[in-house]
Amino acid sequence: MTDRSKRKRTGLLLTSSALVLAGCTGRQSALDPAGQEAAEVYHLFAVMVIGGGIIWLAVIGLLLHACRGQRRAWSENEASRLIAWGGVAFPVVVLFALLVYAVWLMPTIRPWVARAVPEPTLIEVTGEQFWWRVRYPAEDGMAGFETANELRLPIGERVAFSLSAADVIHSFWIPSLGGKMDMIPGRTNVLSLQATKTGVYHAPCAEFCGTSHAYMTFSVVVMGQDAYDDWRRKQASGNQPGGSEGERLFAYHGCAGCHSVRGTTPIAGLGPDLTYFADRETVGAGALRNTRENVERFIRDPSSVKPGSQMPAFDMVPHGDIAAIAEFLTGLR
Amino acid sequence: MTEVAIRELSPEDFEAQERELREVWRTPSGWRYWTSVNNTQIGLWYGAAAFTFMLFAGLLALLVRVQLAVPENDFLSADVFNQAFTLHGTVMMFLFAVPIFEAVAIYLLPSMLGARELPFPRLSAFGFWSFAIGGVFVCGSIFFGAAPNTGWFMYPPLATDKEYSGIGADIWLLGLSFIEVASIAAAVELIVGIMKCRAPGMRINMMPLFAWYLLIVAGMILFAFPPLIAGDILFEMERMFDWPFFDAERGGDPLLWQHLFWIFGHPEVYIIFLPAIAIMAMIVPTFAQRPIVGYSWIVLAAVGTGFLSFGLWVHHMFTTGLPQISLAFFSAASEAVAIPTGVQIFVFIATLLAGRVIFSVPMLFGAGGLAIFVIGGLTGVMVALVPFDWQAHDTYFVVAHLHYVLIGGMLFPVVAGIYYYYPLIDARRLSDRLGKIAFWLMFTGFNVAFFPMHLSGLRGMPRRVFTYPAEIGWDWFNLVSTVGAFIFAAGVAVVVIDVVRPKHRQPKQEMNPWNAGTLEWISEPEEAWGVRSIPIIKSRYPIWDQPGLLEDIKAGRYYLPDAQDGARETLVTSVLDARPVQCLRVGGTSILTMVAACSLGGVFVALTFHWWIATLVCALLTLAAIITWLWTGTAEIPRSDMRDIGLGKTLPLYNSGPQSVGWWGMFITMAGDSTAYASLMFGYFFYWTIHDDFTAGHSGPGIAWPLLAVVLFVLAWLVMLLARRANAADHPGPMRAALMVSAFLTVGGCMAGLAGPHLNPMDPTTHVYPAIVWVVAIWTVVHGAVAIIMQLYCLARSVAGRMSARHDMDLQNVVLYWHFFVITAITSFGVLGLFPAVR
């Protein structure tokens, strides 16, 4: 925390001096790349900022010079030559070079994976108001499973996603790893990303999708291959039934009608899957930090913390029962 | 003034002329002031209304900034926030940025071209009232919590979700359709005005750059707004009647809206930006005290920008998953548009370098705007590159980019224009001191507010979030932005104070205080007649190059120094070389325009609330008002055929066909109308491309009925040609008979057209295929109904003796309408009938 706030202060200092390329921090930042696409785009951006800065200084310098009172007036010929060189020749050359760079970059960072990767190995992500349904396919003898609002990815490997939307348009974007891809009802888009640094990253919904668009985020955990395999195995087998009071109340009050906790409840599938809920960072796809108090708060009245949430309020449920359910959920690790 | 002998007027004649002119062009007083149609009033009202809407949208932006100043803020609820940012964008785009240029154009163009008026002053007034009513309707919605709340580009299916968007989306669609009508009206007016109403001798390559730009922009409006109107129709049909154009489950596609919206939306950016550059193109030569360097460069660049702007729309859709090859194409086109933009900037710099610059408040705003705009242009080059856009799209980086472009490229030049042109309104200048204060507040405030957004965007802040967590690291950027926004707002407030503060103690100054070279500076703020007499122009900067011009104009030594028959008159000249061809009598003060706009507004308001009867009543009232307006105010047969316009020249008072402005008005309107139609057909073929079988097994309209409709419409058109021929040969009897036969054939065509989808039966709510067939059929039939009204109108005119063999403007224009209509009808019913068979 202190490290981060120090880095934040450094970032601010650099901002004020307008030298902003270095030192930008954040788990949701395109300026702090942790993936192949993000890194390539960051380089492109750096080139453009430096080039653009020079061009801006030159143009404004010329403008200020032109507005000075005491100077020699240019002849019409000289002025026309300036238009031809500055307004036409120079931009044509620079823009063409830039375009070649960018067009070359496109297939490099977004190879056409749909053909290369067989369909079942795509991780399916579906945008719903206002959360993310995630389906990992079966692979290497491990069963497939559904989870929500969290992605885990192995480092160094290109992973492909199949992106769709259940209700309105959403957009899938992990700034630290790469650019975004829209999720459009009736269409399925494919995007592939390659993470290069382990860590936890944040991802917002990037297309306005309704009242709680601001509270539609997920976290991305980039792990070593072994840790990743362990996690998948653990997820594939689901939670173990513990027989706690909270577990019973979870079913009794109807939570299990919408939310699955795989291994303990039948598969429901209407709301976010809550298997291994305690491993997640937030409650309500980014609305609150994942603490027991916050889980209670969310169950009592979701709309007060996440306006427009589809989940009804459960403020009629006795206080103690909600506490027990929260205890159960925050114990699912 | 050497070609013709000038007759010096006696002082008495001179006085008499001025009295006549003053009487004819008199601005009505009392409440009737608001019935004025004079371009100076309409322009001012238009500008004031647009500016007021801008201040309102600015306040909304301040609310948005307060909410985002600190993390986890609850100053605004999510719902109010969503309404606020949607309305901010909508109002700034549709109620300020586009109308302000219409305002400036209507105000300045006549005098700049050396005309007394634009050719259709009542159309300008109608446009203004439509705009004002629609604007108040759209803005007012937020006070009832009913404002649109889905972002200013209204993406379905969120915006078609009635539960989420309430009537907000209807208010957006209908309110703005209404305002689009106003914009298209203005476009028709400006194109015809610029092409046909220039002063004699002002060849097209001598036009002030402002006129060039406006001509290009008006042309762009004509082809950019109709796709949105077509989109609005599809959208509203889905919302009102559940026709599934954008519903993926029933064969629709949300992406069609994005295509239609951005085919409009991208040219829109240049429609906003080019007129502001046009103002700069007038200011820069004045303060460099020399003609512009590279006149043809800048004209070509503006034309190039106009063309290219129609090929860029997909750069708003780089993340929708379209094939990379098409993304690369649109990326290249988006880069290319930077070149003509660069040329325009360098033309200004070159002109300043070649002159001796007098620095002043308008130049300050101009130069400051340029410094901001260049940053916006450079970030524009960045986001036009696909890989970078994948990161930057829909983040605060784009918010920063678009504000740098629009505020630097549009608002600063407009404020420069206010300081520059204010003396034309009031014969006084605005305060230099307040202007400088305003500039520095606005310039620093703007950069403090918007520069940090580049960074917050790349650090992952998406657009349109109503709040954000504290630990994510955006808090300082946002706080700084909010502070900057308030500094900027203070600067705008200083401009407002400077404009509205009472100035009657300040002495009036001479005309043309900046020593400008172009014609708009000949107009006298006290007189409503525009120009005292219409000069002969021999230079791009006539005031600099034609000595004595001002005195000669004021002394009435040029054309049309008097007013006859109590009619408002201006000259019509030929398109390229501006030879005088006609003395045009334009419409005067009238309440009809206001009545027509109010009742048309009633139609749109009633539609919003689904009050069907009120809709019908208002529609009939609108029709009645428009027909009365046409009947009493257009194609009037003059008492004498010719008119002595002075300097030994006599011109006809009545022209028809391509010689007349009315014909051009019809032609240009129909070009826009055909664009809307083409957009609907684009929809039809779009659905065809995205589905293997776009009929999805639904029955089509069959072949027989649609082809029968085609045959009947073609026959009706041929009979219309006969009617025109009979009229030219002065056989009114056969002409009337032909009109009636044609009307009957048209009725038959309309019924056959509807019979196909009706009898087969096609239910438009089941799938997108029947829905699109119905829309195309209805569009065509409605145009058929309008054709029938026109035929009956011609019949009535002929019977009433208001149309004759020589005075046949009505019939000529209706036949022109028919040329367009018959193409529409053949395409519609040909495609509907045959295409399912050959697909």
Q: Given CB atoms, is B682 within the 8 Å cutoff of chain A? A: no
pLDDT at residue A19, as a whole number: 38
Can you tell me the mean pLDDT for B677-688? 95
Q: Name the residue among B346, B473, B477 with its Cβ closest to that of A82.
A: B346
Decide if pLDDT at B2 tops 50. Answer: no
A44: chain B residues, CB-CB within 8 Å: 385, 387-388
Confirm whether A12 is domain-assigned.
Answer: no
Asked if pLDDT for residue B374 goes beyond 90, the answer is yes
- CATH number of residue B747's parent domain: 1.20.120.80
Contacts of A65 in chain B (CB under 8 A): 353
Question: Which pLDDT score, from 0 to 100, does residue B799 have?
Answer: 95
Quick: pLDDT tens for B551-595.
899 888 899 988 888 889 999 999 999 999 999 999 889 999 999
**Residue A23, min C-alpha distance to chain B (Å):** 12
Chain A interface includes B647 (CB < 8 A) = no
pLDDT of residue A22: 36
From A109, A125, A144, give the residue that closes a domain.
Answer: A109
Same domain, A136 and A209: yes
Per-residue pLDDT at A115: 57
Q: What's residue B636's pLDDT?
A: 87
CA proximity to B628, closest of B669, B599, B668: B599
End-to-end Cα separation, chain A, in angstroms: 24
CA dihedral sign of residues A222, A223, A224, A226:
negative
Q: How far is B390 from chain A, CA to nearest CA, in Å?
A: 4
Query: Are A65 and A101 contained in the same domain?
Result: yes
Average pLDDT over residues B101-121: 93
Question: Do A81 and A179 fall within a single domain?
Answer: no
Asked whether residue B833 is assigned to any structural domain, the reply reads: yes
Q: Is residue B670 part of a domain?
A: no
Mean pLDDT of chain A: 89
Q: How confident is the model at residue A1 (pLDDT cuts 50, 70, 90)?
A: very low
Across the interface, which of B327, B342, B465 has its CB nearest the CB of A213?
Answer: B465
On whether residue B773 sits in a domain, the answer given is yes
- Tell me: do A260 and A306 sit in the same domain: yes
Residue A330 has φ and ψ, to the nearest 5°, of -75, -5
CA separation for the pair A264, B250 (Å, rounded):
38
3-state SS of chain A is CHHHHHHHHHHHHHHHCCCCCCCCCCCCCCCCCCEHHHHHHHHHHHHHHHHHHHHHHHHHHHHHHHHCCCCCCCCHHHHHHHHHHHHHHHHHHHHHHHHHHHHHHHHHHCCCHHHHCCHHHCEEEEEECCEEEEEECCECCECCEEEECEEEEECCCEEEEEEEECCCCEEECCCCCCCCEEECCCCCEEEEEEECCCEEEEEEECCCCCCCHHHCEEEEEEECHHHHHHHHHHHHHCCCCCCCHHHHHHHHCCHHHCCCCECCECCCCCCCCCCCHHHCCEECCCCEECCHHHHHHHHHCHHHHCCCCCCCCCCCCCHHHHHHHHHHHCCCC
Q: Do A78 and B354 touch (CB under 8 A)?
A: yes
Given an 8 Å threshold on Cβ–Cβ distance, is B393 in contact with A179? yes
Domain annotation covers residue B799: yes
Residue to test with chain A: of B318, B339, B351, B390, most A Cβ within 10 A: B390
Q: How many domains does chain A have?
A: 3
In this structure, the answer to whether residues A40 and A82 fall within a common structural domain is yes
A289-313 pLDDT, tens digit per residue, is 999 999 999 999 999 999 999 999 9
First to last CA, chain B: 67
pLDDT of residue B69: 97
Best of A64, A213, A218, A310 to disrupt the B interface (most B CBs within 10 Å) is: A213
Is A284 inside any structural domain? yes
Residue A83 and residue B378: Cβ atoms within 8 Å? no
For the record, the structure tokens of B532 come out as: 């005292």
> Which pLDDT score, from 0 to 100, does residue B795 have?
96
With a cut of 70, say whether residue B810 has pLDDT above it: yes
Cis peptide before B157 (omega within 30 of 0): yes
pLDDT tens readout for residues B606-645: 999 999 999 999 999 999 999 999 999 888 898 888 999 8
Note down the domain range covering B834: 683-838
Question: Does residue B137 lie in a domain region?
Answer: no
Shared-domain flag, residues A225 and A261: no
Does the predicted interface ipTM exceed a cut of 0.95? no
Tell me if A214 and B393 make a contact (CB, 8 A cut-off).
no
Searching chain A, which residue's CA lies closest to the CA of residue B381? Answer: A95
Closest by Cα among B396, B373, B302, B452 to A56: B373
Q: What residues of chain B lie within 8 A of the CB of A177, using their CB?
A: none
Chain A interface includes B470 (CB < 8 A): no
Q: pLDDT digit string (tens) for B658-674?
A: 989 999 999 999 999 99
Cβ-nearest to B460 among A8, A26, A103: A26
User: Which pair of tokens denotes residue B787?
Assistant: 């054709």
Cross-chain CB nearest to B473 (options A8, A63, A99): A8
CB contact under 8 A, A66 and B472: no
CA of A141 vs chain B CAs: smallest distance (Å): 32
Chain A CB contacts of B352 below 8 Å:
63, 66-67
The CATH number given to whatever domain includes residue A207 is 2.60.40.420
Q: Tell me whether residues A169 and B293 touch, CB distance under 8 A.
A: no
The strand pair at A123-128 and A158-165 is best described as parallel
Whether this model's pTM surpasses 0.90:
yes
Has residue B143 been placed in a domain? no
Cα distance between residue B104 and residue B101, in whole Å? 5
Asked if the structure places residue B630 within a domain, the reply is: no
Query: pLDDT > 70: what percent of chain B?
Result: 99
Q: In the structure, what pLDDT confidence band is assigned to residue B516 with cuts at 50, 70 and 90?
A: very high
Chain A residues touching residue B452 (CB < 8 angstroms): 15
Looking from the CA of B820 toward its CB, the CA atoms found within 13 Å total 23
A45-98, pLDDT tens digit by residue? 999 999 999 999 999 999 999 988 778 899 999 999 999 999 999 999 999 999
Domain boundary among A187, A202, A235: A235
pLDDT at A95: 96
User: How confident is the prediction for chain B on average, in pLDDT?
Assistant: 93
Structure tokens at A329: 């959920």
Task: Give the number of domains in chain B.
Answer: 1
Residue B728 burial by CB count (10 A; 0-12/13-18/19+): exposed, middle or buried? middle
A154-199 residue pLDDT tens: 999 999 999 999 999 999 999 999 999 999 999 999 999 999 999 9
| Contact status of B338 with chain A (Cβ, < 8 Å) | yes
Q: Do A46 and A61 fall within a single domain?
A: yes
Measure in Å the smallest separation between the Cα of B395 and chain A Cα atoms: 7
* A191 and A298 belong to one structural domain: no
A55, closest residue in chain B (CA to CA): B378
A109, A134, A153 - which closes a domain = A109
Give the nearest chain B residue to A44 (CA atoms). Answer: B388
**A118, A231: one domain:** yes
Residue numbers of the domain that contains A200: 114-235
Per-residue confidence (pLDDT) for residue A149, from 0 to 100 = 96
The Cα of A218 is separated from the nearest Cα of chain B by a number of Å equal to: 13
Residue B743 lies in a domain: yes
- Please list every residue in chain A whose beta carbon sits closer than 8 Å to the beta carbon of residue B284: none
Instruction: Tell whether the model's pLDDT for residue A240 goes beyond 90.
Output: no
Contact B158 A210 (CB under 8 A): yes
**HSE value, Cβ hemisphere, 13 Å, CA-based, for A299:** 27
Cβ neighbours of B244 in A, within 8 Å: none
Which residues lie closer than 8 Å to A76 by C-beta, 6 or more apart? B293, B354
> A126 and A202 share a domain?
yes
Going by C-alpha positions, the residue among A88, A81, A90, A54 that lies closest to residue B353 is A81
* Nearest-neighbour CA in chain B from A279: distance (Å): 19
Nearest-by-CA chain A residue for B328: A103
Q: Closest to B350 (Cβ–Cβ): which among A11, A82, A91?
A: A82
User: What tens digit of pLDDT does each residue of B7-20 get?
Assistant: 677 888 888 888 98
The predicted structure's pLDDT at residue A10:
42
As a whole number of angstroms, the distance between CA A278 and CA A141 comes to 26
The answer to whether residue A150 sits within a structural domain is yes
B471 pLDDT more than 90: no
Q: Is B158 on the interface with A (CB under 8 A)?
A: yes
* CB within 8 Å: B342 and A98: no
Among B79, B370, B392, beta carbon nearest to A211: B79
